[in-house]
Chain A
Amino acid sequence: MSTVAVPDRAEARGSLRRRPWVAALGKLAYREGFGVLLLVTLFLFIVGPMLSVILWAFAVRWQYPSLVPNAFGFRFWTETFRRADILSAIPQSITITVVATALSALVSLPASYALARLRFPGRQFLLLSFLATNAFPRFGLYITIAVVFFRLNLIGTVPGVILIQVVNTLLLMIWIPTAAFRSVDRSLEEAALNVGASRLRVFVRITLPLVFPAIAAAVLLSVVNVFYEAQASLIIGLPNVRTVPVLMYSLTNNQLVVQYGAVLMFVTWIPSLILLGFSQRFLRGRYFAAGFGV
């Protein structure tokens, strides 16, 4: 029996080697071993957690040791969006995000233009001073702010949460546009001025289009930052203001039904993923690091 089996196996091995995709895969593993290893590890570590939440969002029942949910369905979607706390948190989060980003843009964009283009004493100090928002441990800062806000009756109010979110976005709203305004080629503007264009016209027609991508990116980042910010909203907003991320704390800790949190996370997370698509080109650019003051 075994004498028959030996050539068989050898043949099988030979045919396997002849298949081009096996050879290609082998070559890839040899040449790109490190890359493949890195990719697989990162995929498991980074995508794995997200994948399990997405599966949970569409699960009706999921019991160990099943690798995927035992039953899929949208039953928990209707239940999730019948919960009063979720129905009130979503509009509240959107309002806070829109108002805070608008206010932040209103105070930050003129500042970034001035810091990049106008000459005045103390300019460098003012630019660097905005790093202070990053140079404190966040949570300690929120505690000290909460003590002040408590006296001003801002705890548990929407204006209180908006104020702290505006300050949270100042650094990226100032530094990213400042870097962009600085990199505008002055000779373009001067050429336009020389042929008789007014300063306003030069600003609107030449400067603004050049810095627009950076400003748009700063606004998008600020929207995402504010919408998902949880720590400041928790300490300043409670007990009256419950944004989506603040609600997520209780859906994570005190909720036996996993699906409520999974569905809410899936739904509110989509904007962030769309942003990932939009900003891919921007991420390769150098302005992004400017948001951290680099």
Chain B
Amino acid sequence: MPTTAQIPASPGSRRLISALGGYGMVLPAFLLMVAIIAYPAVLSIIQTLTTGVDGRATGFTLAQYLFFFHDRLSMTNLLYTLRVGFIVLAVLLVVCFPIALYLRFSHSKLTSAVYILALFPLFVPTINLSFAMIRFTTTHGLLDTLLSRAGLVHYVTPYLRTSGTIIGLVWEGIPFTVLILNAARVQVDDSLLESARDVGASIPQVFLRILLPLIKNAVIIILALQFLGILGSYTIPYLLGPAEPEMIGVFMERTYDQVHAPLQAQTQAVISFFIAAIAGILYVRTVASQQRRTEGR
């Protein structure tokens, strides 16, 4: 007599079981994410849109946002954040494309050393990086000492300046950028690049005409995620950057913790969400289209 397990189930009921099992396995993680990410974010959007400047609940109002956009300090900090963000993105691309191209086109034994060095910051926690960067770049720090030994005595430390924030954020962004560029490059058919080289195309030509269009998605993902990272950063600008103007993350923390104005901090957070939304949507859409392509394969 066959046991129940051996009776072949009909295709329809098997599909149903599989679907129910699937939901059962995914839902705990999904609900956790909804409860801790989506719910607080939506709640903050609602609260900031229904509370007046005096802190009393009203109907729909833009008071919190009008306050932000008319407040000189808030606007200075917001524009400063955007400016630093764009500089960091530009520096990252300028630094990381040559590294990625070098990794691709050089047959030297040095490539693995360059790759390991470029990925190294991945294994340095942000807080440790900030501490190390201060010790390295501060006046009379190791860099200053090295430079003065070489006869360069007019060292100006980037510590507590905007350049300190930029250096820290670039340091943190390098491994991710190189990693994704490299991963995308691996997917590109090597023979395509080789044949272009064979017919006499220079490396910059191959890069601009062939490689760049093929790895466009990777570049979008890098730019979007790095932008989100910069907008949501706190440790590096707080420890390495100037006290004024502040990056939006530092500004939020101070508003929440020291000024004790949670609603203003929420407003700042929601504004950062909306600015980031462009990058966030780009990121999700690009990844989604890549997923569809791998599904179809």
Contacts and interface: CB of A to CB of B under 8 A. Distances in A.
A70 interface: no
B179 interface: yes
B37 A148 contact: no
A64 B140 contact: yes
Nearest to B280: A135
B95 to A, nearest CB: 9
3 A-B pairs with least C-beta separation? A137-B232, A228-B125, A138-B232
Contact of B284 (A39, A50, A131): A131
A143 B44 CA distance: 9
B99 interface: yes
Interface string B266-297: 10111011001001110110011011100100
B229 interface: yes
Interface in B116-132: 116-121, 123-132
A36 interface: yes
A47 B114 CA distance: 12
Contact of B19 (A108, A121, A261): A121
Interface string A153-195: 0000000000110110010001000000000000000000000
Interface stretch (B26-34, B55-63, B204-212): B26-34
Nearest to B284: A131
Contacts of A288: 179, 183
B37 A147 contact: no
A46 interface: yes
Interface string B109-153: 011011011111101111111111111110011111110110000
Interface centre among B19, B146, B176 (most CB of A within 10 A): B19
24 contacts: A49-B129, A51-B136, A52-B142, A67-B145, A114-B25, A118-B25, A130-B33, A134-B225, A135-B279, A143-B269, A144-B44, A147-B262, A148-B40, A150-B262, A174-B29, A245-B125, A252-B130, A252-B131, A265-B132, A288-B179, A292-B180, A294-B180, A294-B218, A294-B221
Given A111-B30, A265-B131, 12 more contacts: A38-B102, A53-B131, A67-B145, A129-B33, A136-B273, A137-B229, A138-B232, A143-B265, A143-B268, A147-B40, A228-B127, A231-B235
A286 B183 contact: yes
A36 B37 CA distance: 45
Interface of A: 31-32, 34-36, 38-39, 42-43, 45-53, 55-56, 64-67, 107-108, 110-111, 113-115, 118-121, 123-124, 126-141, 143-148, 150, 163-164, 166-167, 170, 174, 224, 227-228, 230-231, 234-235, 245, 248-249, 251-253, 258, 261-262, 265, 269, 272-273, 275-276, 280, 283, 286, 288-289, 292-294
Contacts of B40: 141, 144-145, 147-148
Nearest to A174: B29
B253 A170 contact: no
A149 B270 CA distance: 17
Given A134-B283, A138-B229, A230-B235, A148 B43 contact: yes
